[in-house]
Amino acid sequence: MKRKDFIKSCGVIGTAAVIAPFGVSAVAQGSIRDKRIRVAVIGCGSVSGVYLPHLTKSPYVEVVSVCDIKPERAKARAEQFNVPNQYPHIDLMLAGADFDLMVNLTDMQEHGRLNRLALLKGKNIWSEKPLANSYSEGLDLLQLAKKQGVRIWGAPAVVNSPQFAFMAGQINEKKLGTVAAAHAHYGHLGPTWSAFFYENLGGSMPDLGVYNLSTLTGLLGPVKSVTAMLNILTHQRMVDDKGKITVEAEDNASILLEHHSGAISHVMCGFNYFDPYGHQGTGQDKPTVSLVGTRGAMHLIGYDWMPFAVEMATIDHEEPQRFSTDPGSYVWQEGASVICESLVTGMEPLINAEHSLHVLEIIEAARRSQNEGARIQLESVFPYPVIK
Ligand SMILES: NC(=O)c1ccc[n+]([C@@H]2O[C@H](COP(=O)([O-])OP(=O)(O)OC[C@H]3O[C@@H](n4cnc5c(N)ncnc54)[C@H](O)[C@@H]3O)[C@@H](O)[C@H]2O)c1
């Protein structure tokens, strides 16, 4: 089944129906074709130290500006990566050196507000997750982007891995038969550097569960209802920027997803997970995503943001085999660079804003399910299958 056919067959009024599609080529055929994309990075904290080495090596990227409300951080990154302009505020950056794409690496709670300001100035956006703080804010941003003739995309980039491609291909070819169930998990002991991870609208779902939610929805298609249990296990934490804080957002989540396909999947994530592989996932060789169907079972080895292989057993080959052991060029921090490549070449990326919004709606529904003790129906869908 092709992605467009799925949306038609879904019969659901969702983001894909609300937002008329407009291709990358519409942007790329404009003034920025055949050029490097001029990138402005906002947020010069931890993850910028992983993004910038990748971005500055891309043949499709010219990093023109960095910005942080902690100006010493912008200064340090500008010096480290030879970036000509640095700013202490988004307003100054938007009024300063011209650019095509803003890469938003700030606190999660700031994403929606800053993305809106940049869209209003006609900038394309790559946003770390989440791309907005609520589903309705995300819808507004997509509509604003369309009105402004630009695009917005959000992390994560898990659908770009060769292992995801292998799994999506096998499912689409019905190698597992009818997929009945799936499970995914991701957790560690929680970031120690910034309080926002634990403040209202933070939590383990938008920071960690978002990877698994993107993977399972990417593999099994949109979700029609969500039931979840969330709680806070560690009520106080020490963080570098604010010292001792009271945790406001969930740090322990179990989310049940009913997909339109009939599959039922489960994601568990949290900031209280002993993880022998650490924050970098070094040496992780166990499955974190598993799917089972009427004709086979499949496991993703490693984390979905840094997978190593896929193990599969089917009715035709009952002995489990390892596939897709070549990492290729995929790295989790490639999202913004891939978007720049797509803006230059006109090639539509697999990463898709409607998919990000669907995951955002799931996260919001999980919070409501916990608060109301109810099963929550969703309205959004996205282009499926997620296959090139
Ligand atoms: N750190 C990681 O390993 C990692 C990995 C993947 C994704 N992420 C995501 O990246 C984002 C940033 O995470 P981080 O770990 O780098 O956090 P961080 O606290 O290290 O960095 C955030 C930076 O944004 C700046 N900032 C906040 N509000 C701002 C504003 N209004 N204008 C300009 N600058 C502002 C802060 O001063 C800080 O320097 C989050 O969405 C997080 O979920 C982080």
- Beta strands (DSSP E) in 206-324 are 223-231, 236-239, 243-246, 252-259, 264-270, 287-293, 296-303, 306-314, 317-323
Q: Is 66 in the pocket of ligand 1 (CB under 6 A)?
A: no
Q: Which ligand 1 atom is nearest residue 90's CA?
A: 32
pLDDT of residue 278: 74
- Probe target for ligand 1 pocket from 107, 212, 239, with the most ligand atoms within 8 Å of CB: 107
Inform me whether the pLDDT recorded for 30 exceeds 60. no
Q: Looking at residues 222-239, what average pLDDT do you find?
A: 98
As a whole number, the mean pLDDT across the chain is 92
H or E element: which one contains 66? strand 61-67
CA dist 122 to 16, 71, 115, 118, 150, Å?
22, 25, 11, 7, 6
pTM: 0.93
Q: Looking at residues 321-343, what average pLDDT do you find?
A: 96
Are 152 and 131 in contact, with CB atoms under 8 Å apart? yes
Q: Is 109 in the pocket of ligand 1 (CB under 6 A)?
A: no
pLDDT of residue 32: 54
Span 305-329, pLDDT tens digits:
999 999 999 999 999 999 999 989 9
pLDDT classification of 284: cutoffs 50, 70, 90: confident
- Probe target for ligand 1 pocket from 68, 75, 269, 271, with the most ligand atoms within 8 Å of CB: 68
